[in-house]
């Protein structure tokens, strides 16, 4: 089943569900890059998918299968993991949130203000630059 099948059924009836593996594969296919923020001992705190496009940044933070937060933030937001401003937000189980993320439109209202990438906090106080595709 493709994400378009899942999304079509989501629009036509009750909310469809998407298993975690298929959802992650769809995010990768759409250009999400993944980082794994860790604590000072090196233990992974979450799996974070980031996609920079047009003038926005889409973020999916998986803390667990039943604890997922997804955001669309302006490209000017300094801290995408704890933004001051967000344009869209969803949280809950991965099976539900990933369907919502994949249903978001790609178009941006201000495409002329394209973002080139964003900084994502990393291990030991460092940051990683994720370039837009």
Report the predicted TM-score, pTM, of the whole model to 2 decimal places: 0.70
Evaluate the CA torsion angle 44, 62, 123, 131 in order and state its sign: positive
pLDDT at 63 over 60: yes
pLDDT per residue over 78-109, tens digit each? Answer: 898 889 999 999 999 999 999 999 999 876 55
Whole-number Å distance between alpha carbons of 77 and 95: 27
DSSP H/E element including 117: strand 117-121
Q: What is the mean pLDDT of the chain?
A: 81
pLDDT at 61 over 80: yes
pLDDT at 111 over 50: no
pLDDT: is 113 or 66 the higher one? 66
The gap from C-alpha 112 to its chain's centroid, in whole angstroms, comes to: 22
pLDDT per residue over 26-36, tens digit each? Answer: 999 999 999 99
The gap from C-alpha 131 to its chain's centroid, in whole angstroms, comes to: 15
27 neighbors 19 (Cβ within 8 angstroms): no
């Amino acid at each position: 089943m493709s994400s378009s099948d899942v999304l079509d059924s989501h629009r036509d009836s009750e909310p469809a569900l998407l298993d975690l593996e298929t959802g992650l594969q769809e995010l990768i296919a759409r250009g999400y890059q993944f980082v794994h923020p860790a604590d000072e001992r090196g233990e992974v705190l979450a799996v974070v998918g980031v996609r920079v496009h047009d003038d926005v940044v889409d973020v999916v933070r998986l803390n667990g299968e039943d604890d997922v937060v997804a955001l669309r933030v302006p490209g000017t937001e300094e801290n995408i993991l704890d933004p001051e401003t967000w344009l869209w937000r969803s949280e809950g189980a991965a099976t539900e949130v990933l369907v919502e993320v994949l249903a978001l439109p790609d178009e941006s209202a201000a495409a002329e203000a394209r973002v080139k990438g964003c900084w994502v906090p990393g291990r030991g106080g460092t940051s990683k630059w994720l370039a837009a595709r």
